Structure 1
Amino acid sequence: MALNFHQLHIFYTVAEKGSFSYAAQALHMTQPAVTMQVQALEDYFGIKLFHRSTKRIELTESGRTLIPYAKQSVDLIRETEIAMSKFTKMIEGRLQLGASLTMGEYILPRLLGPFSKDYPNISVSMKVMNTAQILDEVLSHQLNFGLVEAPIHHPDMYTEAVLSDELKLIVPADHPLALMDSVRMEDTLEYPFVLREQGSGTRRVMEEELTRRHIDFSSMKIIMELGSTGAIKSAVEAGLGISILSQTSVKHEVTLGLFKIITLEDIAFKRSFYAIYLNSTLLPISAVSFMTFLRQDNLSRWL
C-alpha cells in the first residue's frame, strides 16, 4: 500500500476537529469511512496516531510528529490547484458561493461575465446575504466559500483579502457640495447624512476610520439609517441627504449625472473584500478557479 494524500487530509481534519464525527461532517463522508482511512494510515506506518476513548481523542507522539507534514501536504495541494487553475479553462462544475450585499449586488455581477467567458462550463449559484448568514452557511457546508466585507476571526475559517475598495462621499448632482471636486470631512458635517445601518461592513469601515482620525462620529447629522445600498441611493437621489458609499456601487448614477463623487481631502475610507472558507476544506476546482480569477491585478477594468 502506498501513502496517499487523501488519507493525510482525513488524518489532518480529524486532528483539527478533535473528533471523527466532526471530521466526517466537514469532509462529507460517513464516520466509519473516516475511521477506516485513519486506520489504513496507521497500518501503513505500523503505529497509532490517536489515543481513542469514549469521550475524546488525542494525538499520540507519532501523530503530533505527522501533523506538520500532513498540513504541508494539504497546503501544497491547494497551491498546486491555484497554480494550475489558470490553465484549465474547460473544467466543468458548479460554483456555489455567498456574497455580502455590496459584493453581491454591485461588484460580482460585473465580474461574473468575464469569468464565464474564461470558464464557460462552470455554472454559478450565488446567494446575497449578510456576513453572519454567510459564515453560518460556510460552517454548515451549505456553501463552498463566501465573499464578505470584513475579515472573519473564527478558528475554523481561512480568510484571504481578494479585492480592494474605497468608500467615497456621494452627493446629488444639484447639491451645494457638487460644485466642488474635494472637501474636508468637517465641511460635510452641516449636511444631513443617510447611512447604512450599524453593524454593516460599510458603516464599520467608516466609523473605524473616523475614530482613527479622531473625528467625532456623533457630530454627523444622521437623519436616516437604511439596510441596503440601493435604499440609500434612492434616498440620496430624492435629496434626503448625502452619503458615504462604495464608489463601485454608484457608477451607474454617476454616469447618468444623478450623483457626483467628491474626494475627501483629509480622510480615505479604504477596505478589502475577503474570501472565507473552512480550514479543513479543499475547495472544488470551480471555486479555486474563481479565487484565482479574483486575484488578478487588472479587475478594475470591469468595475
Structure 2
Amino acid sequence: MALNFHQLHIFYTVAMRGSFSAAAHSLHMTQPAVTMQIQALEDYFGTKLFHRSTKKVELSEAGKTLLPFARRSIDFMKETDMAMSRYTHMLQGRLQMGASLTFGEYILPRILGPFAKEYPNITVSMKVINTSQILEEIQNHQLTFGIVEAPIQHPDVVTDAVLNDELKLILPAGHPLLEQEQIRMEDALAYPFVLREKGSGTRLVMEQEMLRKGVDPGALKIAMELGSTGAIKSAVESGLGLSVISASSVKHEVTLGLLHVRSIEGFTFTREFYSIYLASTLLPISAVTFLSFLRERDISQWL
C-alpha cells in the first residue's frame, strides 16, 4: 500500500475533531470508512496513531509526530489549488457560500457579473445572513464557506482577508456641510448621526479610527441606532442625521442625487472582508477560484 493524501486528510480531521464519528460527519463519509482508512494508515506505518477508548480518541506519540506533516500536506494542496485556479476557465460546478449583510447586499452582486463572464460554467448559490449564522451553517456543512466583515476566532475555522472596503461620511442632499469637499471631524460632530447598532462591524471601524486619532466616540450625537444599512440610508436621506457606511452601498443613491459622499479630513475608515471555512475542509476548486478572483482583481472598478 502506498501513502496517499486522502488518508492524511482523514487522519488530520479525526485528530482535529476528536472522534471518528465527528470526522465522518465532517468528511461526508461513514464511520466504518473513516476507521478503515485510519487502520490502513496505521498498517502502512506499522504503529498505532490513536489511543481509542469508549469516550474519546487521543493521538499516540506516533500520531503527534505525524500531525504537523498531515497539516503541511493539506496546506500544500490548498496552495496547489490556489496556484492552478487562474487556469481553470472551463471549470464547472456549483458554488455555495454565505455572505454577511453589507457584502452580500451591496458588494457581491456587482462582482458576480464580471466573475460569471470569466467563469460562465460556475453557478453561484448565496445566502445573505449574519456572521453567526454563516459560522453555524459552515460547521453544520450547509455552506462551503462564507464572506464576513470581521475575523472569526474559532479553533476549527480558517479566516483569510480577501477584500478591502472603505467607509465614507454620508450626507443628505442640501446639507450645509456639502459646501466642503473635505469635512473636518469637529464640523461633522456638530450634527446628529444615524449609526448601526453598538458592536456592529461598520460601527466598530468608525469608533476605532476615531480613537486612533484621539477623538472620543462618545462625542457623537447619536440620533438613532438601526439594524441595517438600508434603514440607515433611508434615515440619512430623510435628514435625520449623518452616517459613516460603505461607499459601495450608496452608489445608486449618489447617482440619483439623494445622498452625497464625503471624506473626513485626516480620517480613513477602512475594513477588510474575510473568507471563513473549516480548517479540516479542502475547498472545492470553484471556491478557491472565486476567492482568488477577489484577491487578484481590481474589484474597485466594479464597485
User: Are 1:239 and 2:236 counterparts?
Assistant: no
In the aligned structure 2, how far is the partner of 1:67 from the partner of 1:121? 37
TM-score, normalised on structure 1?
0.97
In the aligned structure 1, how far is the partner of 2:301 from the partner of 2:151? 25
In the aligned structure 2, how far is the partner of 1:204 from the partner of 1:214? 15
**Equivalent position amino acid for 2:190 in 1:** E
Deviation at 1:14, TM superposition (A): 0.7
Identify the residue that residue 219 of structure 1 maps to in structure 2. 219
In the aligned structure 1, how far is the partner of 2:20 from the partner of 2:206? 43
Say which SS state the counterpart of residue 161 (structure 2) adopts: strand
Identify the residue that residue 146 of structure 1 maps to in structure 2. 146
Identify the residue that residue 284 of structure 1 maps to in structure 2. 284
Identify the residue that residue 107 of structure 1 maps to in structure 2. 107
Identify the residue that residue 21 of structure 1 maps to in structure 2. 21
Query: Which of 214-223 and 97-106 deviates more?
Result: 214-223
Identify the residue that residue 198 of structure 2 maps to in structure 1. 198
In the aligned structure 1, how far is the partner of 2:198 from the partner of 2:30? 42
Query: Which of 278-287 and 214-223 deviates more?
Result: 214-223
Structure 1 ranges of 4+ moved more than 6 A: none
Return 5+ residue gaps in structure 2 as ranges.
none
**Equivalent position amino acid for 1:8 in 2:** L
In the aligned structure 1, how far is the partner of 2:138 from the partner of 2:239? 39
In the aligned structure 2, how far is the partner of 1:102 from the partner of 1:61? 47
**Equivalent position amino acid for 2:53 in 1:** S
Deviation at 1:214, TM superposition (A): 2.9
Say which SS state the counterpart of residue 164 (structure 1) adopts: strand
Q: How does 1:1-303 map to 2 (within 5 A)?
A: 1-303=1-303
Say which SS state the counterpart of residue 86 (structure 1) adopts: helix
**Equivalent position amino acid for 2:295 in 1:** R
In the aligned structure 2, how far is the partner of 1:211 from the partner of 1:20? 48
Deviation at 1:213, TM superposition (A): 2.7
Deviation at 1:260, TM superposition (A): 1.7
Q: For residues 78-130 of structure 1, give each alpha carbon's deviation from its aligned partner in whole angstroms, at most 9, with x where no partner exists.
A: 11111111111111111111111110001000001111111111111111111
* CA root-mean-square deviation: 1.1
**Equivalent position amino acid for 1:176 in 2:** P
Say which SS state the counterpart of residue 87 (structure 2) adopts: coil
Deviation at 1:54, TM superposition (A): 1.3
In the aligned structure 1, how far is the partner of 2:91 from the partner of 2:183? 50
Deviation at 1:209, TM superposition (A): 2.1
Q: For residues 230-272 of structure 1, give each alpha carbon's deviation from its aligned partner in whole angstroms, at most 9, with x where no partner exists.
A: 1111111111111101111111222222222111113221110
Deviation at 1:297, TM superposition (A): 4.0
Say which SS state the counterpart of residue 7 (structure 2) adopts: helix
Deviation at 1:202, TM superposition (A): 0.6
Say which SS state the counterpart of residue 282 (structure 1) adopts: coil
Deviation at 1:199, TM superposition (A): 2.4
Say which SS state the counterpart of residue 143 (structure 2) adopts: coil
Deviation at 1:200, TM superposition (A): 1.7
In the aligned structure 1, how far is the partner of 2:220 from the partner of 2:72? 50
Say which SS state the counterpart of residue 162 (structure 1) adopts: strand
In the aligned structure 2, how far is the partner of 1:286 from the partner of 1:246? 28
Paired positions, count: 303
In the aligned structure 2, how far is the partner of 1:127 from the partner of 1:137? 10
TM-score, normalised on structure 2?
0.97
Deviation at 1:228, TM superposition (A): 1.0
Say which SS state the counterpart of residue 239 (structure 1) adopts: coil
In the aligned structure 1, how far is the partner of 2:90 from the partner of 2:184? 51
**Equivalent position amino acid for 1:88 in 2:** T
In the aligned structure 1, how far is the partner of 2:298 from the partner of 2:183? 29
